[in-house]
């Protein structure tokens, strides 16, 4: 009698009831004299990058075809300094996932874009 391969004995996949795509919000603070001040936030909305600067009255939308360098240059053209001590906070809803410190705007943008590419199409929910 042939032996049944083990993958036939594995339980069926359990569907996720409420599948939600992971949507990170990246909050960037810049170092001031005594503390960190909110510099801007960036998140992925409908495939575009949404950038919100607290001192500006409107948000900016950057298409996904822009490179990391293009995004950095656009943010600099909006008045954000290229070189400063920055603190990057990565949020998923109400949960702070990670905090990073950077000294260059381009490195922050690279981290954000790389992170978004990794979590693309990943969903979570209740089983």
pLDDT digits (tens, 9 = 90+) for 85-116: 999 999 988 899 999 999 999 999 999 999 98
Domain boundaries, the chain: 22-88+116-124
Rounded Cα gap, residues 126 and 79, in angstroms: 42
Distance of CA 90 to the CA centre of its chain: 7
Q: Is the pTM of this model over 0.85?
A: no
Q: What is the DSSP string of 6-66?
A: GGGGSPPPPPPSS-EE--EEEEEEEE-SSSEEEEEEEEEETTEEEEE-TTSSS-EEE-TTS
> For 14-28, 37-51, 70-84, which range has the lowest pLDDT when averaged over its residues?
14-28
Per-residue model confidence (pLDDT) at position 50: 95
């Amino acid at each position: 009698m042939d032996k049944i391969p083990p993958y036939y004995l594995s339980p069926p996949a359990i569907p996720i009831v409420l599948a939600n795509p992971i949507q990170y919000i990246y909050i960037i603070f810049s170092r001031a004299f005594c503390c960190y001040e909110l510099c801007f936030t960036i998140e992925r909305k409908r495939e575009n990058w949404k950038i919100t600067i607290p001192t500006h009255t409107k948000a900016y939308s950057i298409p996904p075809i822009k490179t990391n360098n293009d995004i950095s240059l656009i943010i600099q053209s909006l008045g954000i300094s290229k070189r400063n001590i920055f603190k990057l906070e990565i949020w998923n809803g109400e949960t702070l996932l990670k905090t990073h410190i950077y000294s260059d705007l381009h490195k922050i943008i690279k981290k954000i874009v790389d992170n978004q590419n990794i979590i693309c199409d990943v969903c979570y929910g209740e089983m």
